[in-house]
Amino acid sequence: MNKKATKKEKTKELFNKLIDGVTNIIKSGEFKKFLKFSKNFHNYSFNNMVLIFSQMPEATQVAGFKKWESMGRRLKKGAKGIQIIYPIKRKQTLKLQNQESIIENEEQKEEKTVEYMSYAYTYVYDISQTFGQKMPLEDSRINSNNMVEFLNFLKSFSPYPVIEDNLYGGTQGYWSPKHKYIVLKKELSIDDKVSVLLHELTHALYDDFNYKEDRNLSETFVESVAFITADYFNLDTSKCSFNYITGWANGDVKVILELGDKIQKTANQFIKQIEEYQKQNLKIIA
């Protein structure tokens, strides 16, 4: 078996592992745990995060061995690589027969360059599999004991008015697309208000589902984005629940993969917008 064929088989095997990983995450009810895990891997695609999580759920920071070496760290003896997929942009030149030359029986051909993506596999290693120069710890941007300040910050960040009102029943908050404002239940704790506000802001800023037709998709998407964003800022939003996603394992896994990529990209965008607003308003969170 030649080397090229082996690579193709390895890549196919890795894609199968990806599908199995997603299915297992959903069936086991560990989707919430996976979202918490994924906050550490903003530079990786959803597919690669699934692969990393499936092979080493305790991973916190991964890189290739050359990257680790450039940071003054070396691999521990016996360190087992974590397989991920990386895209390769390729070009192919095609020769097209000119229609006029066909009629005139001439051998004139036009060339057209086509770009396409192919995929291969590589290995990364978690920081726990390396030793050497100490890595700087990430700064904690928001202290979990400062929820009042963060709540006020989110209210100022919101492009829409945030109103606290008496809401009855199980309703803890809502976004009004018609009137363009967010309402929070007045009786909620500060922590709950932060959690609900992140949820409703995600509805207001990023939710493009048809709510009447795709309510489950909408709520899953929104709660997932809110959970990742809150957890990124060290906020314990334990009220977020994703148990109902378990039933999706009986459906099309590709749909779940597509939604997962949308969740991660949106969470990254939300986090980036909050951080940029923080930089412009340092006094608000000082």
The DSSP annotation for the chain comes to --HHHHHHHHHHHHHHHHHHHHHHHHHTT-HHHHHHHHTT-TTS-HHHHHHHHHH-TT---EE-HHHHHHTTEEEPTTPPPEEEEEEEEEEEEEEEE-HHHHHTT---EEEEEEEEEEEEEEEEEEGGGEEESPPPPPP-SS-TT-HHHHHHHHHHH-SS-EEEE---TT--EEEETTTTEEEEETTS-HHHHHHHHHHHHHHHHH--S-TTT-HHHHHHHHHHHHHHHHHHTT---TT---GGGGGGGGS-HHHHHHHHHHHHHHHHHHHHHHHHHHHHTHHHH-
Q: Is the domain of 278 the same as that of 165?
A: yes
Q: How many domains does the chain have?
A: 3
Q: Is the domain of 272 the same as that of 152?
A: yes
Q: What is the mean pLDDT of residues 98-117?
A: 59
Q: Is the domain of 132 the same as that of 1?
A: yes
Task: Tell me how far the alpha carbon of residue 39 is from its chain's centroid.
Answer: 8
- Which pLDDT score is estimated for 172? 83
**Tens-place pLDDT, residues 40-72:** 776 788 888 889 999 999 888 898 999 899 888
Q: Is the domain of 19 the same as that of 54?
A: yes
Q: Is the domain of 130 the same as that of 192?
A: no
Q: Is the pLDDT of residue 241 over 50?
A: no
- Which pLDDT score is estimated for 246? 39
At 6, the pLDDT band (50, 70, 90 cuts) reads: low
Q: Is the domain of 274 the same as that of 188?
A: yes
Of 74-83, 153-162, 219-228, the poorest mean pLDDT is in 219-228
Q: Is the domain of 39 the same as that of 127?
A: yes
Structure tokens at 71: 């940071």
User: What backbone torsions phi and psi does residue 42 show, to the nearest 5 degrees?
Assistant: -65, -25
Q: Is the domain of 97 the same as that of 150?
A: no
**Tens-place pLDDT, residues 207-230:** 999 988 887 788 878 878 887 888
% of the chain beyond a pLDDT of 70: 74
- Which pLDDT score is estimated for 144? 38
- Report the chain's C-alpha Rg in angstroms: 24
Q: Is the domain of 200 the same as that of 215?
A: yes
Residue-averaged pLDDT of the chain: 77
Name which residue leads in pLDDT, 27 or 7: 27
Which residue range is the domain that position 1 belongs to?
1-85+121-136
